[in-house]
Amino acid sequence: MRPTDLSLAQARLALDARQISARELTQAYLDAIAALNPRLNAYITVTAEAALTAADAADTKLAAGQGGPLEGIPLGIKDLFCTAGTRTTAASRILGDFTPPYESTITRQLLRDGAVFLGKLNLDEFAMGSSNATSAFGPVENPWSRRNDPDTRLVPGGSSGGSAAAVAARIALGATATDTGGSIRQPAAFCGVAGIKPTYGRCSRFGVVAFASSLDQAGPIARDVMDCAVLLRSMSGFDPQDSTSVDMAVPDFAAAVGRGVRGMRIGIPQEYRMAGMPAEIEALWSQGIAWLRDAGASIVDVSLPHTKYALPTYYIVAPAEASSNLARYDGVRFGARVAGADLTELYEKTRAAGFGAEVKRRIMIGTYVLSAGYYDAYYLKAQQVRALIKRDFDLAWEQCDALLTPATPSAAFGLDEKQDDPLAMYLNDIFTVTANLAGLPGMAVPAGLDGQGLPLGLQIIGRPFDEEGVFAVAGAVERAAGFSALPGVIA
Amino acid sequence: MSVDIATIKRVATLSRIHVEPAALPGLAQEINAILGWIEQLSEVDTTGVEPMAGGGATALRWRADVVTDGGQAEAILANAPDREGEYFGVPKVVE
């Protein structure tokens, strides 16, 4: 068995038993990155030297029996998390060579627990996208390809495309990611790996480049459900530096993975049965329902009547918040600057040159819906519909303990498909965006392959702060699915 | 509601993003397609519904009004594109 074959949980045991050193494990990942990243483009920045130094420090601690829960575990960090002394780009030209003088709370906690950082992972610019194609550092390739069409390069999903592709290709043992409308769950599903967006407030947003602050939430992408549980525990917890961070104890998520679903009520939202849904997605969903029934859960039909309004609501709320958050990129305090005759021209030229097309589009939509005369018709209306979407879930929880849905409306698509039509791209998040609007935990688990041999995922949505329930259901789905297929491009 | 070229131009100015005049019609078309799709929200009866502003269910936390940070001019200026002493450098603002 090669070091990169070990899951995070297996690597933990091997490191603790000194069957492998942190340096050997880290070196194996750095070698895999050197071999595969030129093709996949999953990393924007690789911090090889720092990783080996951290691995040596981990070995010293492990030898003394003092290791943390992630001691010596090599991770990739989405390049939206500020890392002190390491360039952070948000995959945008406008940040230039921005090198944060401080560490995000989540990466600080991962370092506290002994993790080794391999580098910074590619993403859609400012996390705005569903294919990783909006990155200023080029697209990421999905390590999977279609069985009968192996030459067509597929997208890894987005915005955490680098995170999902790196975990799937085994050039990171686990990764941080963020999810504003589906940016953890959709790429995880496209790449055949697991990913969880926890409840809003569970993970600190301090030091994470902001997109839409009332929707943004960080979480892990990892090889399986257990690895996600281990990573989420280290990432979670109260942080006074984020005013929306919730002061609640962090449960032992890993203990919930094997708990089973006997006695749980699993809701099946009827409105997620969309017209034109591919038969394979529908079949996988039915299979998932059967798995959970066989595992002892009771299946309940539930209704979330405002589901069809979730995406249009999102495309008011998210751009509105983005237009405000991205006002800080003005060429004055950090990042790139384009000179102008006066300050206004400096702002306008800097932002025209620094932002990509999708980011500009969203800033302008956000500015429009917040502008005088349109605020009530668009922004206020969207906030009201958002309240109704949340109420749909509140009512559903009277009937069930968790929901099972498909993760995405399709498998991964080609790098050249859907890129010209923003609306077609937005529909990728149709099953995931509701959890962001309602602030709920949601997880994608690989559950099967489509006819082309591409992975498909199922999604579990849970009650607020019941990530343990989500992990219990996800664990049951994972055991029943026995998903063991591997992508063509792998370390 | 459909936006015209003049509106797009105004929104670009409010956004502080320079848009070449030749790019305005294409941008208007894209934004109109998105706004047209968003328009379906008008079907929803929201009479008396309290707008949901934040992402969480709880009220924002208060903290004591005390200084918790400061004295980090060098760290703050470290990424500045232009600086003069302990200040950010910008083009002349006052005539």
The domains of chain A, with CATH numbers, are 3-260+471-481 (3.90.1300.10)
Specify burial of residue A436 (Cβ count, 10 A radius: 0-12, 13-18, 19+): buried
d(CA A57, CA A63): 10
Q: Which sequence positions of A are flagged as catalytic?
A: 78, 159, 183
**Angle, alpha carbons A209-A385-A431 (nearest 5°):** 65
CB atoms inside a 10 Å sphere around CB B50: 9
Count CA atoms within 13 Å of residue B49 on its CB side.
Answer: 19
CB contact under 8 A, A309 and B44: yes
pLDDT cut 70: percent of chain B above it: 97
Q: How many CB atoms lie within 10 A of CB A1?
A: 8
Find the closest chain A residue to B14 by CA distance.
Answer: A367
Mark yes or no for CB contact B41/A360 under 8 Å. Answer: no
Residues 30-89 of chain B with CB under 8 A from chain A are 30-31, 33-35, 37-38, 40-42, 44, 46, 49-58, 60-61, 63, 72, 75-76, 78-82, 88
- How many Cβ contacts (< 8 angstroms) between chains A and B? 164
Distance from CA of A329 to the nearest CA of B (A): 10
Q: Report CB contact under 8 Å: B41, A381.
A: yes
Extract the tokens encoding A214. Answer: 């009332």
Query: What is the predicted pLDDT for the residue at B58?
Result: 66
Pull the structure tokens for residue A321.
């918040």
* Separation CA B41–CA A379 (nearest Å): 11
By three-state DSSP, how is residue A310 classified? helix
B79 and A99 Cβ atoms separated by less than 8 Å: yes
Taken as a whole, chain A contains a residue count of: 491
Residue with the bigger pLDDT between B95 and A387: it is A387
Task: Output A482-488 pairs: Cβ under 8 A, ≥24 positions apart.
Answer: A483/A192, A483/A446, A483/A447, A483/A448, A483/A455, A485/A192, A485/A449, A485/A453, A485/A455, A487/A142, A487/A143, A487/A144, A487/A145, A487/A168, A487/A169, A487/A191, A487/A192, A488/A143, A488/A144, A488/A145, A488/A150
- Cis geometry, peptide bond prior to residue A159 (ω within 30 degrees of 0): yes
CA-nearest residue of chain A to B95? A342
**What is the three-class DSSP state of A391?**
helix
- Rounded Cα distance between A90 and A159, Å, is 11
Do the beta carbons of residue A9 and residue A230 sit within 8 Å?
yes
- Encode A249-262: b = buried (16+ Cβ within 10 Å), e = exposed: eebebbebbeebbe
Amino acid symbol at A448: G
Give the full edge-to-edge strand order of the sheet including A217-222: A43-46, A116-121, A74-78, A174-179, A217-222, A194-197, A442-449, A455-462, A402-406, A265-269, A298-302
**Angle at which helices B5-14 and B24-38 pack, to 10 degrees?**
90
What the block records as the tokens of A477 is 């789905």
A214 and B27 within 8 Å at the Cβ level: the answer is no
Point out the residues of chain A with pLDDT beneath 50: none
Q: How far is A353 from chain B (nearest CA, A)?
A: 9
| The pLDDT value given to residue B1 | 56
Tokens 């090669």 locate to A2
Report residue A142 as tokens.
């999905």
The pLDDT score that the predictor gives to residue A101 is 96
Question: What's the pLDDT at A423?
Answer: 83
Residue A158 in 3-state DSSP? Answer: coil
Contact state of A343 with B91 under an 8 Å Cβ cutoff: yes
CB contact under 8 A, B38 and A378: yes
Nearest to A479 by CA among A226, A201, A188: A226
Mean pLDDT in residue range B32-55: 93
CB contact under 8 A, B41 and A101: no
For residue A275, what pLDDT is reported?
81
Q: Which of B31, B55, B61 sits opposite A215 (nearest CB)?
A: B55
pLDDT at residue B2 is higher than 70? yes
Rounded-to-integer distance, Cα A220 and Cα A42, Å: 16
Nearest CA in chain A to B92: A342
Query: Which of the residues A86, A95, A180, A334 would you substitute to probe the B interface, choosing the one with the greatest number of B C-beta atoms within 10 Å?
Result: A334
